[in-house]
Structure 1
Amino acid sequence: MTPFRHISGRDLAEETPVAISFNGTTQAVMMASPQDLKDFAYGFALSEGFVSEIAQIERFEIVTHDKGVEAQLWLSAKKAEALAARRRKMAGPVGCGLCGIDSLHEAMRALPSLNSVTSDLEQSDLATASDHLRSQQPLHDQTRAVHAAGFLVAGKGIVMAREDVGRHNALDKLIGALMRAGRDPATGAFVITSRASMDMVQKTAMARCSTLIAVSAPTALAVDVATEAGVTLVAYARSPEFEIFSHPNRIEAGPKNVT
């Protein structure tokens, strides 16, 4: 399936239901752009805590249905056992008034601490991050309807990028692409074309990337979560200006372009 269709003289972005399943059980169904789905599934598995490394995924398959696509991942025996225990925990009694407590706990789940992770990024890298990402958004140029996430490396700009109709999906696709390429997210920063919400910070921390740069604004909770997890959160990143909301000490001194 192509990521766009030509309708009424315009190229319009496609979106399709994508079910992500682990060992035969569906965990999530999301509307997504139909390209880079293996990256999407791998990134989702890591950012949502189903796996911690690529070796725990033993098999992957895409199954096309009439109404959408299923991305099937088969995990190692140890991870499959942990997944089964997770499902049993969530299948408790209902009607007790506390049946949503596990979901609430998961929404504010514990994150790895990145306080000890260093960075080679300078202020000049942050100042040009949005421009570098903008140059790697061909689907956006064609449809004006998709988000992007890019991997920024000090002195090199954006070295990898992914696009999707969903901002979370774009970041998951990037995380999966890095995972499959054997690139360590700790060696750079994530750059996103959307606002920096709490869940985007969570995905960044779960991927063990210490810096998240957003073109738009952060939420207050995102700043709280980034501060606690040790993530440097940068927002309003529109060349040449940006604002650092947490852990500014990680960014090397450079041109004074912080607003």
Structure 2
Amino acid sequence: MGYADLHIHTIYSYDGTSSVEAVLKYVAEYTDLDVIAITDHDCITGALKAQDLAPAYGIEVIPGVEVSTSDGHVLALYIEQPVPAGLSLIETALRVGELGGLCIAAHPMAAGTSSLDFKTIHAALEHAEVRRILVGVERFNGGLVYTRRNPWVEAMASALPLAQVGNSDAHVLRMIGQGATYFPGTTAAELRHALEQATTEVRKGHGLGGVEVLRDFIPRYLLRKMGWVVHNSGPHAPLRLARMSQALQNPMLGSAHGAHM
């Protein structure tokens, strides 16, 4: 049995505070995770970089994107090409399916961020092809203050005919794994099978509370705005603060894969 965190952000997200290398270093040395997914906002560049670097850190990475659909955010996993933002949930799921990927409904009904509602999810699942692609729902999200322990949301998510998933939605390193998915196996391929068969379970972590926002996220976010992020220069090097490149400091610049930060 293994653990996965399928919702992690890097500096390729406008609000991420750690480089791809730093995320890999932290996961390898400070968590019990077997598999992770990098899911930056509407950008796949960091995920593909993480997939290339992951063997050196001894972990498996699923490339993905947190896609901003017109209905709310959805995690697109097991894809290696970007998916356009702004499409409906159904259109997005079909695009992800064409790329060989799977979708997970991210933080449904969450306040303060663009989220799917359960009516939209149910409507999408009436589409036969979408049912094959939209396979999971984020029942626990450790990164959203005040919403992650909403018992009504958890009950509604549990009632869906989907794999039940826990994720961190980490934007700072110490959040990674504070919300995870328990699955039969230890590999990305075995995790995919578990998602498709809905045999996953949720592990709830400490999550991000008001104190953690003030202590951890806001200082890191302000440093990010000034061009400083947590970085790692190699598997055997320590984590440290480093300056971002000018390209990553400017969110208006496109990535090499045509997606924005």
TM-score, normalised by the number of residues in structure 1 = 0.26
Between Structure 1 and Structure 2, whose CA radius of gyration is higher?
A: 1
TM-score, normalised by the number of residues in structure 2 = 0.26
